[in-house]
Amino acid sequence: MESNWINTIGLRNIAAAIGFLLFLGWETFRPFFPFFKEAPVRRGKHLARNIGVALLNGAMIGLLFLPLWSRAAVPEFGLLHRFSMPGWLHTLFAILLLDCWTYWWHRLNHRIPFLWRFHRMHHSDPWMDVTTARRFHPGEIAFSSLLRLPLIFLLGIHLWELLLYGALMGLVVDFHHANIALPERIDRWLRAWIVTPAMHKVHHSRIQAETDSNYTSLLSVWDRLFGSFRLRPDLAAIHIGLDEWSEPPNQTLRGLLNTPIHREPAK
């Protein structure tokens, strides 16, 4: 089983790199919002900041939480092991349960003020693109990673299943954060199954009623099932970011990491 999760890490990293480069290229040549059309220097700084945060989070997960997740994945223990089922069905249920948990964790980050202090760093990006998919405060990543420990243990999820879910979710998260748009017919078909750019642009709107919608990360069914699904036809009119928190002093690396500390944004 150890070789399974080691191989999954390798495949996940390859898939993440390919997906990131694909969407980065797509939004470079066919951007939906003209954020960086005449500001390549700003784009470079934006990419460096967001990727810098992503590398910090990646190191924390790899060095601290991956070994803990491995210990929590006790063989043949947990809810899913109480039922006789083929391996593929076990994996399917593991992915569904993890995705449902991710939906509720995201929703709680919007509802609980303490958690929102960390999560607003992600929403404060006024230039949402594929790098925004990796822009999460290390505190938020630490909380979610710790909460996965009892989830893995009690549900009986294999470590490689967790990593597989992470790879699938990562590709879709890169996709719906990318500064791209699909023809409505294609987006409509895809969003019957997964989160699409049209859905997630609404989630990054500065209008709170829109920010507090479309919480799911991989499968769109959760927003439909729990009443948080929302669309709007004029995507180009959406104002991305958070009022005041999207101002330049809050967009430096120091400003990003300090976001949870301050009650009011830097001016």
Q: Give the C-alpha separation, 192 to 175, whole Å.
A: 15
pLDDT over 90, % of the chain = 78
pLDDT for the residue 3 = 53
pLDDT for the residue 4 = 58
Residues 6 or more apart whose Cβ sits within 8 Å of residue 3: none
pLDDT over 70, % of the chain = 95
Q: Give the C-alpha separation, 226 to 123, whole Å.
A: 22
Report, as an integer, the average pLDDT of 223-238.
96
pLDDT for the residue 9 = 67
pLDDT digits (tens, 9 = 90+) for 8-39: 666 777 888 899 999 999 999 999 999 887 77
What are the angstrom distances between the C-alpha of 238 and each of 42, 168, 198, 204?
Answer: 21, 27, 11, 8
Q: Which of 49-58, 79-88, 172-181 has the lowest mean pLDDT?
A: 79-88
Q: Give the C-alpha separation, 195 to 219, whole Å.
A: 6
Residue 231 CA, chain-centre distance (Å), reads 19
Q: Give the C-alpha separation, 63 to 142, whole Å.
A: 12
Q: Which two tokens stand for residue 98?
A: 């993890």
Q: Which of 67-76, 176-185, 223-232 has the lowest mean pLDDT?
A: 67-76
Phi-psi region of 227 (alpha: psi -120 to 50; beta: other; left: phi over 0): left
